Chain A
Amino acid sequence: MSADATKRFTETPLVRRKYREEAIAKWIFFAMSAAMIVPLLLILGYLIERAWPSLNLSFIVDVPIRGMKEGGVWPAFIGTIYLVFISLAVSAPIGILAAIYLNEYAKDNWFNRIINLAVINLAGVPSIVHALFGLGAFVYAAKFGYSIISASLTLAIMTLPVIIASTRESLASVPRSFREACWNVGATRWQTIKAVVLPNSISGILTGVILQVSRAAGETAPIMFTGAVFFKAVQKGDLFPYHLNEQCMALSMHLYTLSTQVPGVKESIPFATAVVLLGLVLAVNAAAITLRVWLRNRKKW
């Protein structure tokens, strides 16, 4: 009996099976995680390899020459930046404030349930539908014409529901007990939001907004219908080449036209354009991650 007692923790077939299953499960999950970075590296590697002959800093600040067969992408680059910033300048404040209303103030009644439903469904609407809406609403009805302002507003409509959803999620991650503690000492909802809710959800809110930059920068359909143009003559390196009521070039649209509409383009140029677009998006995402890490380190519970 005592001999048995010293061997209570021996391997039995059941134990061996558990170890085996554990190892297999861990390996599968790891392999799937690792598989995620393979496509990214392949895409990046392929693009950079093909783009290499054209890839240098002057490619960004140069203007296209010889019927866009050579030269750089400056008009498209600066156009994309215009579109992204104006659209976010519209959608971020509206989205964040609407999300605060929905999460902090709104009671659970039929009206607010409809708003919620609308937000969720808007987030799922394909971008080409937003494009048609933008065409009808901003270009024709509001008489903005084909312009940066129409395109930006269309992009804003497109990014708005996602900003609302991500902001609500960050707000909801602040424990309710914090709010109740504030209400109990006679704070209004606004005082509570200001003192406790916003400071602790701002990192998530900003991250959500910044991630929409990549979406706005990458979309082609909405701007193609509302304000992006095939070609626009712009000075090299000019920071303010467009008026808001003018059409502009944009990287995503430029990539599409170079690849499909212009014969005889130097082969590396579309790839280099793609790399610039991707680089812009990745840079913005990296900024978002940095910001989140920085703000999270200051997170307070």
Chain B
Amino acid sequence: MTADKHVEVQDLRLAYGTKEVIHGITFDIYHNEIFGVIGPAQSAKTSLLRCLNRTIDFSAGANVSGTIKVDGEDVRKVKDLYGLRRKIGMVAPLPVGLPISIYDNVAFAPRCAGMTRKSELESIVEQCLRQAALWDEVKDRLDSLGTKLSGGQQQRLTIARALSHQPEILCLDEFSIAIDPVTTMRIEDVLKELRKDMTIILVTNLTQQARRLADRTMFLWNGEIIELNKNDVIFGEKPKDKRTYEYVMGIFG
């Protein structure tokens, strides 16, 4: 069972200055599952992801304790931090097309990792754009700027960029808040494909999205785990905690 754990979080605490926002949470994420994280605003969902790929280091005054292990390796002790970040694909809530060409947007990460062969780069760019369901729309204008795409296209570009470094874990942080329902459904289909190759952490405000996609879902509230369970329990008639039921049903604040 241990071998199957992809991410292990042990008593993780995070404080910004003196204000603790994650109060010692412990959970595991298994290989190739879609792991849903739901919870209201301010429940430290995004901070959790930032701890995982250590971009939390960029926040002044952030103080992390406890351990996060990826494949058994403590993320705070890794020797190759940039390698760790490449292993984890990250999609932010708001689409970010970098102000470079579409091609460069996707080729950026491989280039940062030292890949220079044009043929390799081209095949990665095409493959990632295809995976993100964007290839057909942009294949004739790979030279135009990433920032000139529409919001939904930019979000798919962001996903393509997150895939470009061949991650083993893909984190999606409320990826659908800036895009329309049709595009959302297309990306959800993409995710169902991708789970064959990687573990997906899906942070979402839409409980129905977690219900549709996830295998297990964690309900975070104010930096604590209220409940972590299989989807049919969380979204069923009798989750363990009454608050889960109320939140999922939309009764609760």
Contacts and interface: CB of A to CB of B under 8 A. Distances in A.
Closest 4 CB pairs of A and B: A300-B99, A185-B109, A186-B86, A186-B85
A180 B86 contact: no
Interface stretch (B36-44, B68-76, B117-125, B156-164): B156-164
Contacts of A107: 60
Contact of B82 (A178, A186, A196): A186
21 contacts: A177-B92, A178-B96, A180-B58, A181-B92, A181-B98, A181-B158, A182-B108, A183-B58, A184-B85, A184-B92, A185-B85, A185-B90, A185-B161, A185-B165, A186-B82, A186-B83, A187-B108, A188-B112, A199-B100, A301-B99, A301-B147
Interface string B176-198: 00000000000000000000000
B53 A184 contact: yes
B27 to A, nearest CB: 22
A167 interface: no
Contacts of A199: 99-100
B175 to A, nearest CB: 13
A173 interface: no
B249 interface: no
Contacts, number: 75
Contacts of A178: 96, 98-99
Given A183-B58, A187-B112, A195 B162 contact: no
Interface in B98-150: 98-100, 104, 108-109, 112-113, 145, 147
A188 B82 contact: yes
A242 B23 CA distance: 70
A185 B163 CA distance: 9
B85 A183 contact: yes
A186 B113 CA distance: 8
Interface string A85-129: 000000000000000000000011000000000000000000000
B25 interface: no
Nearest to A200: B99
Contacts of B84: 186
Contacts of B164: 185
A182 B98 contact: yes
Contact of B96 (A177, A191, A299, A300): A177
Nearest to A175: B96
A76 B96 CA distance: 52
B109 A196 contact: no
Contacts of A200: 99
B109 A186 contact: yes
A186 B161 CA distance: 11
Contacts of B61: 108
B94 interface: yes
A108 to B, nearest CB: 5
A205 to B, nearest CB: 16
A300 B147 contact: yes
Given A185-B108, A186-B82, A187-B108, A180 B100 contact: no
Interface string B77-97: 000001111100110101011
B55 interface: yes
A130 to B, nearest CB: 33
A200 B96 CA distance: 15
Given A180-B96, A300-B100, 12 more contacts: A178-B96, A183-B55, A184-B53, A185-B86, A185-B164, A186-B82, A186-B85, A186-B86, A187-B109, A191-B112, A196-B100, A301-B145
A299 B148 CA distance: 11
Instruction: Point out which of A107, A177, A184, A185 has the most chain B C-beta atoms below 10 A from its C-beta.
Output: A185
Contacts of B112: 185-188, 191
A184 B171 CA distance: 11
A180 B92 contact: yes
A199 B158 CA distance: 20
Nearest to A178: B98
B90 A184 contact: yes
Nearest to B147: A301
